[in-house]
Chains A and B, each alone.
Chain A
Amino acid sequence: MAVRPDNRLADSPMVPVACSRCGARVLARKSSWNQTTVQWNAEASAACLERRDAENLAAHAGRGLFLACSALSGSILDAVRNGDLPVVDESVRVTT
């Protein structure tokens, strides 16, 4: 029972982005300025410094969930500004 591909990725796939702080490489996608998708892999997770800090604190923080890496979020926004990461809303205007 294989899971199907997300229909939204057909027109606008995930794009590689590297974190300017630790170099972790993830796949990112933005459908609008406020929407962000981030796909990590094991290597990127191991490289992330903020994640390591969060894990060190997690022992004192209940169920200790790591919400986001702020350095990576910044790098994703930089990728948008540099034109490396398209924002779907702005690139796919109504195409009829």
Chain B
Amino acid sequence: MTLQSEIDEIRQIEAEAAPARFARGWHCLGLTRDFGDGKPHAVHAFGQKLVVFRGGDGRINVLDGYCRHMGGDLSQGEVKGDEIACPFHDWRWGGDGRCKKVPYSKRVPRLARTATWTTLEQDGMLFVWNDPERNAPPPEQAIPRIEGATSDEWTDWHWYTTVVNTNCREIIDNVVDMAHFFYIHGSLPTHFKNIFEGHVATQYMNGEGRPDIGDPGESQLLGTTSVASYFGPSFMIDDLTYHYEDADHKTILINCHYPIDANSFVLQYGIIVKKSNALPGDAALQTAIGLGDFVKMGFEQDVEIWKNKARIDNPLLCEEDGPVYQLRRWYQQFYVDIADVQPDMTDRFEYELDTTSPNEEWMKVVEANLAAKSAAGTT
């Protein structure tokens, strides 16, 4: 029996404000080649302004952007030796955050120390470790090496950067959102599984080409195989293979972001493509550019949704949706102190989706599109 009050009840969207705290973990700020020119660079991240510079010793350093003396903007300063010099009074700050010299003073005052972020240069990318508790990065959360990134058998990074004006939880939700890949991105997932464990959240997705939609590349795309893992709160490595009639194109897609503040983030994505007999040097580069533009279009489709959607803490899920709540439980580990990380945030969780019913519906849509196309083509 259903009560009348149940029939009349309206489901309310509930949402707390986005957290004021920023996630603990490695964040990629971009390619080292864009920071390594010996000039200071301003980066707005974690609700602050940072200065990034490569010192004379070759190390890239990340410091709070404002001089502890009188608040000068260090990103407008100059690299002198291994240090960044403030444009206001020439105070010199080292990569360890300590003031090394006040050129017009006999002595540096006590407590002349500013905030720093531990950096990592790896596979052409610059990472910073963000931690509100200021602990050192644990070795087991190191960003895995990407074999192709330093190999002549692969193209160089083809890299994109854009600002998105919403809280970064929206992009994390994509890890489990199978159905949006059809409705937003025009792909056709046939297999979909998530595994969360420790600080890693993985999405396994196989898809088929859409015969009713043009795909990148000259020959018909048969399908894709993708294994995509977030290593920590913001850095995803996607082993993504495109299967064509004549060959497989192996690619690595990076999808990463860092928060500017609670309501905006910098989204970055980069692609490398493996060269092969079917895809020698220049063709691989063209493929990287082509796929990059394809991925760019995909993210633009996401952004259009995010710009207009409501933040929602209580999504109403059907059985063919992925594990949104369990993903958010995993994501929560990065927003609490280490001492408050609960076992269920990091315990292994597996969720394999049944794609049967979605695929039946989607094939009907594809066939209707094909019929409409052929009708239009013959008249």
Interface residues of A (CB under 8 A from B): 1, 3-8, 31-42, 45, 62-63, 65-68, 88-89, 96
Contact = CB atoms under 8 A, between A and B. Distances in A.
A31 B319 contact: yes
B332 A8 contact: no
Contact of A63 (B144, B193, B314): B144
Interface stretch (B75-83, B152-160, B341-349): B341-349
Most buried by A among B315, B347, B350: B350
Contacts of A41: 343, 347
A38 B262 CA distance: 33
Contact of B229 (A7, A8, A40, A63): A63
B229 A65 contact: yes
Contacts of B286: none
Contacts of A3: 325, 328-329, 332
B299 interface: no
Contact of A45 (B144, B229, B348): B348
B177 interface: no
Nearest to B325: A6
Interface string B10-53: 00001010010000000000000000000000000000000000
B227 A6 contact: no
A36 B328 contact: no
5 contacts: A1-B332, A37-B350, A38-B349, A65-B229, A67-B204
A42 B343 contact: yes
B325 A5 contact: yes
A89 B319 contact: yes
Interface string B352-374: 11111100000000000000000
Q: Interface size class for chain B?
A: 35 or more
B352 A65 contact: no
Contacts of A65: 195, 202, 227, 229
B335 interface: yes
B336 to A, nearest CB: 9
Contacts of A1: 16, 19, 332, 335
Given A32-B354, A37-B323, A40-B349, 10 more contacts: A1-B335, A4-B14, A4-B313, A4-B325, A6-B317, A7-B315, A36-B350, A38-B348, A40-B347, A67-B193
B319 A32 contact: yes
Secondary structure class of chain B's binding surface, majority of residues: mixed
Contacts of B227: 65
B353 A39 contact: no
Contacts of B351: 36-38
Interface in B298-344: 313-319, 323-326, 328-329, 332, 335, 343-344
A32 to B, nearest CB: 5
B319 A34 contact: no
B135 interface: no
B19 to A, nearest CB: 6
A67 B356 contact: no
B352 A34 contact: yes
The 8 closest A-B pairs by CB, nearest first: A40-B348, A35-B354, A34-B354, A31-B319, A6-B325, A38-B350, A32-B354, A3-B329
B146 to A, nearest CB: 10
B237 interface: yes
A18 B357 CA distance: 29
Nearest to B336: A1
Residue of A36, A38, A63 with highest tally of chain B CB at under 10 A: A63
B343 A39 contact: no
Contacts of B315: 7
B2 interface: yes
Contacts of B344: 39
Nearest to B356: A34
A96 B2 contact: yes
B319 A35 contact: yes
B334 to A, nearest CB: 12
